[in-house]
Structure 1
Amino acid sequence: MIGVVFLSQTIFGIWGNCSLHYRYIFFYFTGCRARSTGLILKHLTVANSLVIAFRGVPQTVEAFGLKIFLSDFGCKLVFYVLRLGRGVSLGTTCLLSVFQAITISPWNSRLAELKVQVLRCTGPCITVFWILYMLVNIIFPLYVAGKWNNKTITKKKDLGFCSGMWNDTITQSLLAAVLTAPDVVCLGLMIWASIYMVFTLYGHKQRVQHIHRNGISRRSPSVTRATQSILVLVSTFVSFYTLSSIFSIDLALSDHPSWWQLNITAMFALCFPSVSPFLLSHESKGLRIFSASCRRNA
């Protein structure tokens, strides 16, 4: 049953992220200009694909009873790329929320001054995320090794297809603090941006309600749909990320993690990368509009 769950997450996650990424590649080669969030979503799908490929595939193989014989270098590479993809996924999701908050901010607000610069800063910000998480997670492979490593290790714990090495509690706590500090900052910015967007959209709805009173009674306004999409995306991300962090901390503090701890932690780590392309379906609708426009121009 666990194997089927991992297999479903892996298949749907790869299919959703690759489909979304393919659309942006299609628009690039056909000369159509995608939406302003296109660059962020492209890197988000790449990061999610890395998480699914380096976590979902090994966990699926392991869950079906097939042994994975990874060397020390293989384990270090898998966990490093996994942590890198997870960090960039969090950073780009945060950047997407902040970008949308600046975009919809009223022209008389303080954020309005950033509307002109935000498009120029998107690319450099994404580059900073990649470099930051490359540097932060470079210490992670030092504490991961193959399960068949013959070196003398003070503490060794089972991580499924690899093993973890921990010297003492202080080193473990410092490592956890260094690895989670950027994540906490990104998560806080994303929650702030989402709350700001909800209040901004609600205020806009209140101001125009007397103008479109008859129309609102017949159909759901675009402001309401935008608010709902923001709440669904952020609440889903925060829920999955919080559960994943709780189980990851529990796994890190356990000297001898159980089979259920390993699989439940991996399952929640794969949730958001697998469902995020479908939560971003409004972006896909915008891409289809661009596609139809390109065909008409052709």
Structure 2
Amino acid sequence: MSSLKHVYYFQAGIGVLTNAFLFLFHIFTIYWDHRPKPTDVATCHLAFVHIVMLFTVLDILSANMFMSLNFPNDLKCKALLYIFRVMRGLSICTTSLLSIIQVITISPSTFCLSRFKYKLTSHVIHAFCYFWSLSLFSNSNMIIYTVAHSNMTNILNVSKYCSLSSMDPIIMELYFILTLSQNVFFVGIMLLSSAYMVIFLSSHQKRSEYLHSINTSPRTSPATRATQTVLWLVSLFVIMYCLDIIITSFLTMLWKYDPVVLDIQRLVGSVYATISPLVLISSDRRITGILQNVIDIALILKSS
């Protein structure tokens, strides 16, 4: 096993554990709170999507678990790649939704989207239904054209075990345009939302400086902390998404199985799924408060 695979397994392991912790925390929060915050619902969904996405790209899952179930090779590849692409699309949609939620939350009553503020949680659930339908449909070509490795010449190897067979150029262009327009739309929403949040943070900083100038001790508001967290997430996603596009384009030009490039692609493609829960956990004072209490109790027990 290459050193890159060791790094990937370590990275994926951290990502699964942190996303599982984040998912369970928000499940309990939603269950106990009769009026959950829309950010709790969206964060819970994002953590679930990342857990499934990280599992589908683990070689041990495709090589051992599916083999033990005696599924045909084509079915293994179709299931794994389709689920991965669906989860990847849902990750893009949910991150853009988080940015929209934060914009609506911090916006004044005169803002055009402020009418959604009071029923935002129900709108978020409706958005999830739309996102799942869109992602399931837009990636349906993976079910048709994904095959196990064969001796065919017109195939594109996408993993150690699976390939994409050649498809009609018109169908390929249609799916490419659909996927590209979908991704550009959601990334564009992230960038527009980020620009709005940067303006908000800038004006808030000016007010804080004014308060500080009159000897009032300014404190970072929850809205500002949440806005900064979403900006971190969006920035991380856009950077990793651009790197993934570059690596995928290079892999497509090679048109052959290159384990090193594929390992690099896995690493880059799972960075956001691994780091995003750490950002969300560290910025949530409810979680950091619980963790601090656990640490304090552990220190007390150790000293006694």
TM over 0.5: yes
SS at the partner of 2:113? helix
Inter-partner Cα distance in structure 2 for 1:83 and 1:59:
18
> Which structure 1 segments of 5+ residues have no match?
293-298
Partner amino acid for 2:59?
P
Compared CA separation, residues 32 and 168, structure 1 to 2 (3 A): closer
Identity %: 27
CA deviation map 1:80-111 (0-9, x unaligned):
00001101111011000001011101233333
**What's the counterpart of residue 274 of structure 2?**
274
**What's the counterpart of residue 238 of structure 2?**
238
Inter-partner Cα distance in structure 2 for 1:205 and 1:262:
44
1:221 aligns with 2:223: no
Equivalent residues of 2:240, 2:269 under 8 A apart: yes
Pairwise CA distance, 1:61: 8.0
1:100 aligns with 2:99: no
**Pick aligned residue for 1:71 from 70, 73, 79:** 73
**What's the counterpart of residue 9 of structure 1?**
11
1:258 aligns with 2:230: no
**Pick aligned residue for 1:145 from 147, 150, 170:** 147
SS at the partner of 2:38? coil
**TM-score (normalised: structure 2):** 0.82
Equivalent residues of 2:229, 2:283 under 8 A apart: no
Inter-partner Cα distance in structure 1 for 2:49 and 2:73:
24
Inter-partner Cα distance in structure 2 for 1:194 and 1:127:
24
Partner amino acid for 1:58?
D
Pairwise CA distance, 1:46: 1.1
Inter-partner Cα distance in structure 2 for 1:192 and 1:231:
11
Aligned length: 284
Inter-partner Cα distance in structure 2 for 1:290 and 1:130:
33
SS at the partner of 2:139? helix
**What's the counterpart of residue 296 of structure 1?**
none
**TM-score (normalised: structure 1):** 0.83
SS at the partner of 2:164? strand
Pairwise CA distance, 1:207: 3.5
**Pick aligned residue for 1:35 from 34, 37, 46:** 37
Compared CA separation, residues 108 and 162, structure 1 to 2 (3 A): same
Pairwise CA distance, 1:214: 5.6
Equivalent residues of 1:166, 1:172 under 8 A apart: no
Pairwise CA distance, 1:235: 1.3
Inter-partner Cα distance in structure 2 for 1:207 and 1:2:
48
CA RMSD for the aligned pairs? 3.1
> Which structure 2 segments of 5+ residues have no match?
293-304
Inter-partner Cα distance in structure 1 for 2:127 and 2:218:
38
